[in-house]
Structure 1
Amino acid sequence: MAATVTLEPAGRSCWDEPVRREPVRAGRVRATLFLPPGAGPFPGIIDLFGSGGGLCEYRASLLAGHGFAVLALAYFRFEDLPESLNVVHLEYFEEAVDFMLQHPKVKGPSVGLLGFSKGGDLCLSMASFLKGITATVVINSCVANTIAPLHYKDMIIPDLGSDLGKYTTTEAGLFNFMNIWNNPLEKPYHQSLIPLEKAQGPFLFIVGMDDYSWKSEFYAYMASERLQAHGKDRPQILYYPGTGHCIDPPYFPPSRASVHAVLGLPIYYGGELKAHSGAQVDAWQQIQTFFHKHLNGKKSVNSKL
């Protein structure tokens, strides 16, 4: 007797109705908007990834299943956007914020930001200089502007800079870039620090304590000290031991190493498999709770992916 099995489409168990996907080509903005089922409007979030560039949609699509309108935003190496990250104009990200706040399915008067790695320091800059930002979550990010100079109106924040000669390699030949970055507390590198005290909303820093790309724990401590020195509330900081750089949603295989999309080099990100996997589960729920509290005024009770 032959056996039969029915295969359900991937992700069907995550929510009862499908999330809607809308490509966005509005002015200069290149993105994808994910909308939950229902009439809305929904609290809005802009989602940014790191120095690999391109348009990453998976995190935004999953987060939309929890009641948020999420804009997965590309900022280089996609379609007609710049191929290289040589300079960043904050006006582009301001245009994305305006798009969200003018969208009929997005509940204003402000949005949240979610950023990973380079996308994290961009979110910190957006929160510090742009209007309409209520809450900001950064995952393993620096508190200084990195990789490329940041321009906004008549202001320029230089990039932190690095010394590539300080890289190390693992026994497997993977590159470790954690120690190449200049210290933002030292002159003249302090000029790259982002003025977090200008932000209007709260911060959540998610820190992998085995991050081999950034000194994420040190940067989160710096952010807390700077905010308190300016009379602001300390940020919420979540520390995850044994957790590396790439903290994805739950049940994604921990990314301990990969060939960098731009550098073309095998990069070591760190993380112990069990600890990192557990951190991804907890961080995902903490992100939802933070955004529901500060964008919706309630706590998340949904533990599904």
Structure 2
Amino acid sequence: MWVLPWWSSGGPLALILQGPEVKGPGVGLLGFSKGGDLCLSMASFLKGITATVVINACVANTIAPLRYKDMIIPELSYDLKKHTITESGFLNFVDIWDIPLEKTNHQSLIPLEKAQGPFLFIVSMDDHNWKSEVYARIASERLQAHGKDRPQTIYYPGSGHCIDPPYFPLSRASVHAVLGQPVFHGGEPKAHSKAQADAWQQIQTFFHKHLNGKKSVRPGKL
């Protein structure tokens, strides 16, 4: 079970804010894959989160139940029998996850409408781990249904699951930390490389805008 840290004088966010390099008064979160839905949960429940970026993440809690105070958010249900195997022998499990909007999965949905700050969703269109496009759309519809602003969402055709910083090589497959098996991530080299370079710039611009009040940043160079 994942345990979400409480916001308190001795909590981890308070500790971060005490760092000399942190301007405050709020902090930004950046999460990828499972780390993304953890960031969504933190933004929804903890105070002091000013801006949140998620890269190819689910809008529901996944893999294990999450506990916060007296609340337990169950994990999104799945069926491992729905997986497929690529020609190279890699596991493709994008279709194993049930739809978060189904009645049986409502309790796994993260209450994004409770968040104080804005969101940026980075979405890969060739993601073979999560249905990232679907999850970003659900998040947008949920926020707007509760009177919140539509989140910024950026779509990258041809990019795979692992959006790393610019100039990192494309990781089309790797051994999954939980399953212990080689998993297919997707992505085409040229499109994925361009996505990583642009996403890095977009993330910095988003954080500078909502944390520092700046409208733009200088583009990075190799």
Read off the aligned partner of 2:151 and give its amino acid letter.
Answer: P
Partner of 2:193: 277
- Specify which of 101, 107, 114 is matched with residue 191 of structure 1: 107
Does 1:171 pair with 2:74? no
Per-residue deviation, 1:211: 0.1
| 8 Å Cα contact 1:207-1:217 kept in structure 2 | yes
Q: What's the TM-score, normalizing by structure 2? A: 0.95
Asked whether the 8 Å contact 1:93–1:126 carries over to 2, the reply is no
**Quick one: distance in 2 between partners of 1:295 and 1:209?**
28
Is 1:127 paired with 2:43? yes
Structure 1 CA distance, aligned partners of 2:20 and 2:191?
A: 41
User: Which consecutive residues of structure 2, in runs of 5 or more, have no partner in the other structure?
Assistant: none
Aligned length: 219
Aligned to 1:49: none
**Matching of residue 139 in structure 1 with residue 55 in structure 2:** yes
In structure 2, what is the equivalent of residue 234 of structure 1? 150
TM-score, with structure 1 as normaliser:
0.70
- 1 CA distance for matches of 2:144 and 2:21? 36
Q: Which runs of 5+ in 1 are unaligned?
A: 1-86
Q: Which residue of 2 aligns with 1:301?
A: 218
Identity percentage of aligned residues: 75
Change in CA separation of 1:249 and 1:180 when aligned onto 2, cut-off 3 Å:
same
Deviation, 1:92, is 6.5
Verify the 8 A CA contact 2:56 2:121 in the aligned structure 1. Answer: yes
1:90 aligns with 2:7: no
Q: Deviations over 1:249-294 (max 9, x none)?
A: 1110011001223322110000011100110000000000000111
1:113 to 29, 36, 39: 29
- For residue 34 of structure 1, what is the aligned residue in structure 2? none
**Deviation of 1:242 (Å):** 0.4
Distance of 2:177 and 2:101 partners within structure 1: 30
| Structure 1 position 304, deviation (Å) | 2.7
Is contact 2:6–2:46 with CA below 8 Å preserved after alignment?
no
1:76-131 residue CA offsets vs partner (Å, 9 max, x unmatched): xxxxxxxxxxx011116873212111223311111000000000000000000000
Which amino acid in the other structure matches residue 2 of structure 2?
Answer: V
Structure 1 distance, partners of 2:77, 2:221, is: 40
* Higher RCO (C-alpha under 8 Å, 6+ residues apart): 2
**In structure 2, the residue corresponding to 1:131 is in which secondary structure?**
coil
- CA offset at residue 303 of structure 1? 2.1
Match of 1:219 among 118, 135, 151: 135
Q: Deviations 1:118-175 (Å, cap 9, x if unpaired)?
A: 0000000000000000000000000000011111111111011211000001111110
CA distance in 1, matches of 2:170, 2:14: 34
Q: Is the 8 A contact 2:6 2:69 kept in 1?
A: no
Are 2:163 and 1:247 aligned? Answer: yes
Residues 138-157 of structure 1: pairs in structure 2 closer than 5 A: 138-157=54-73
- Determine the C-alpha separation between the residues in 1 that align with 2:6 and 2:186: 32
Could you say if the C-alpha distance between residues 231 and 92 of structure 1 is closer, same or farther in structure 2, counting changes exceeding 3 Å? closer
Determine helix, strand or coil for the equivalent of 1:218.
helix
Bigger share in strand: 1
